[in-house]
Amino acid sequence: MELSEATMWAVIAALVAIPLCYYFWRRWDRPSPAAKAEQERRLKERDTREAFQREEAKARENERQQALVQLQERKKISAIAPSSEAVSFALSNLDATGTSNKGVVASRSEEEVALLEQIPETVAVPDIEPDESVAEILQDEGPVSLKVGITLPEEVKSKGEPVWLDADIEWPEWE
């Protein structure tokens, strides 16, 4: 199995050309110094932005903690126990109103209660029988068109000719 002379030269040329092409391709494929500088600048900007975001988050958390402390202090101030005099006064008022309500209920006689119970029976309720249900009315009628007449004032009617706006507008010339 002999290789022809042309095939042998082609294999030798390929063995020499492939490493050379790879070498030049790797040199060409690398970023330029300007691209490297731009990439470094963007990385620094990102790091700076992230540092500011971390500091802002810390500040917000600190403000939240301070607000919680202030809220707890307000709750403590507003939750101060009332004095014993105020509690005894409130309880005495509750006892007084409870006994007075019982007295009002007990003061009604049996005749008054019987009259009050008869009131619903004495009221006449008209016997209303529906002719059609609402659903049937809506299905039968459908939309109703209305004619609306508009009368214009005499000042508006006296102007006879319409005004065309095309004459007043300067239209741009399109290319």
DSSP string, 100-162: HHHHHHHHS-HHHHHHHHHHHHHS-------SS-HHHHHHHH---------PPPHHHHH--SP
Task: Report the C-alpha gap between 41 and 34 in whole angstroms.
Answer: 10
66 within a domain of the structure (yes/no): yes
Q: Which residues of the chain have pLDDT under 50?
A: 100-105
Task: Report the C-alpha gap between 95 and 88 in whole angstroms.
Answer: 11
124 within a domain of the structure (yes/no): no
Residue 45's alpha-carbon distances to 40, 48, 55, 56, in angstroms, are: 9, 5, 15, 16
According to the model, what pLDDT value does residue 29 have? 77
63 within a domain of the structure (yes/no): yes
According to the model, what pLDDT value does residue 60 have? 95
62 within a domain of the structure (yes/no): yes
Cβ-based neighbour number of residue 30 at 10 Å: 9
The number of distinct structural domains making up the chain is: 1
60 within a domain of the structure (yes/no): yes
Q: Left (φ > 0), alpha (ψ -120 to 50) or beta: where does 26 sit? A: alpha
122 within a domain of the structure (yes/no): no
According to the model, what pLDDT value does residue 150 have? 67
Report the greatest alpha carbon distance in the chain. 137
pTM: 0.32
35 within a domain of the structure (yes/no): no
58 within a domain of the structure (yes/no): yes
According to the model, what pLDDT value does residue 104 have? 47
Angle at alpha carbon of residue 134, lines to 128 and 136, rounded to 5°? 115
Give yes or no for a contact between 31 and 39, defined as CB atoms under 8 angstroms apart: yes
Residue 61 is part of which domain span?
45-77
According to the model, what pLDDT value does residue 86 have? 80
According to the model, what pLDDT value does residue 135 have? 60
